[in-house]
Amino acid sequence: MQAAPTSLEVLSGAVVFTDIVGFTEYTAVRGDAEAFELLSTQERIVTALLPDGARIVKELDAQGAPLEAYAAAKEFLRPVLVSLIECRRVLLDGPTFQNSPAWNLHPLLCEDLTIRNVTVRNPWYSQNGDGLDIESCRRVHVYDCRFDVGDDAICMKSGKDEEGRRRGRPTEDVFITNCIVYAGHGGFVIGSEMSGGVRNVYVTHCTFIGTDCGLRFKSTRGRGGVVENIYISHVDMIDIPTEPIRFNMYYQGGERAVLDAERKELPVTEETPIFRNIYVKDVTCRGAGRAAVLQGLPEMPIRDIVLENLHITATEGLVCIDGEGIELKNVEIRAALGPAMTFRHSRGVTVAGCRAAEGTGVFVRVEGEESAGVRLSGCDLSQAARAVELGAGTPEGAVEVA
């Protein structure tokens, strides 16, 4: 469904869905498929939609082919459920959107968008079955919504790679509050297609229950773009299989850890993604695989990330790799295994007013010969068997305890 540039209201009681009975799998969409609707007019979009897919469908229609023959065009035949392009003054109030072949809601290049009291549902196995993908929009308010989907739930995007940078339209001035996410790859997500930038986003009073990952920031070399001025507060999570907070600058469709042997510093170009000035405050998580993962690039560390008033219970602790200007204030991590916090190849890290939980072995471990300026200040370390541990090759002066 595509809307012309005018006012639109979809009100309570409506149910918008597709019938996917008979389709037994959701295959991953080809990488460039996510750029189908990135052009500025409907005519350009239609001519850009997988030309081979359109040709195959036309030929099969002419032949009266059976349903299974259309599998050759399955990427082309997976549209989003609701596509809003270059619209202004849009209100979605109360409807349910479900069973989308791909993304459920995709506002693109829209302004003054309000989404409230909306329920979005897709099967848990629906690859690319995102809930809400806000792309290159400004002045957006999302509140009192519920998501139970097969991929990212509430996601900020702004185009992919060169096309997104050329368009140059960031997603900005977004306010999200009082939303609940159940199944989903991420509760609140930025990326990975953020090449036009994302800025001035506020997320508060949200709940994630059983979501794969809570706050998910993802990008990769080649994207470019700047993500900045993101403010997140009062988020409660429970039973998060991976991490309540994850930054991954090596995203390639998965979350594979990048080993030191693979770590290589490359020149900084317009294709280098930048994540900075991100504030996460008043977050609780009861039950997670790992407390947090913050991984930047050697040539472009994630910068000026503040984590304050966090209380997390997890199997493993927090890991920060290639971070700079990272601040942890009043953070308590109850990790069953390993150090509560590990900093690798990171500089200018402040751990202030934090408390070692009962049973903590090592409170802070610092690794990597490039690590420097890690400072512990005003922390209660009485419950830690060991306050600081240095990895092999880490400079003796890398850590200061005040």
Which amino acid, 124? W
Closest to 185 measured CA to CA, from 145, 160, 206, 216: 216
Listing DSSP states for 107-176 in one string gives EES-EEEEEES-EEE--TT-TT--SEEEES-EEEEEES-EEE-SS-SEEEE-B-HHHHHHH---EEEEEE
Is residue 52 annotated as part of the catalytic site, yes or no? no
- Residue carrying the six token digits 């897919």: 53
Active-site residue among 148, 185, 322, 345?
A: 185
CA 103 vs CA 127, 182, 199: distances in Å: 9, 16, 22
Q: What is the DSSP letter of 61?
A: H
Beta strands in 67-110 (DSSP E): 82-85, 88-93, 96-98, 105-108
- Residue carrying the six token digits 């619209």: 87
CA 283 vs CA 106, 218, 245, 275, 331: distances in Å: 28, 20, 10, 20, 10
User: What's the CA gap between 219 and 194, in Å, rounded?
Assistant: 7
User: What's the CA gap between 132 and 103, in Å, rounded?
Assistant: 7
The tokens of 89 are what?
A: 């003054």
In this structure, what are the phi and psi dihedrals at residue 371, rounded to the nearest 5 degrees?
-70, 140
Active-site residue among 130, 133, 148, 151?
A: 151
Neighbours of 168 (CB within 10 A): 13
In this structure, what are the phi and psi dihedrals at residue 171, rounded to the nearest 5 degrees?
-85, 125
Is residue 345 annotated as part of the catalytic site, yes or no? no
In degrees, rounded to 5, the angle at the alpha carbon of residue 288 between the alpha carbons of residues 257 and 145 is 105
Neighbours of 142 (CB within 10 A): 23
The tokens of 87 are what?
A: 């619209």
Q: Tell me the β-bridge partners of 316.
A: 290, 337
User: What's the CA gap between 48 and 153, in Å, rounded?
Assistant: 27
Which sequence positions are flagged as catalytic?
Answer: 151, 185
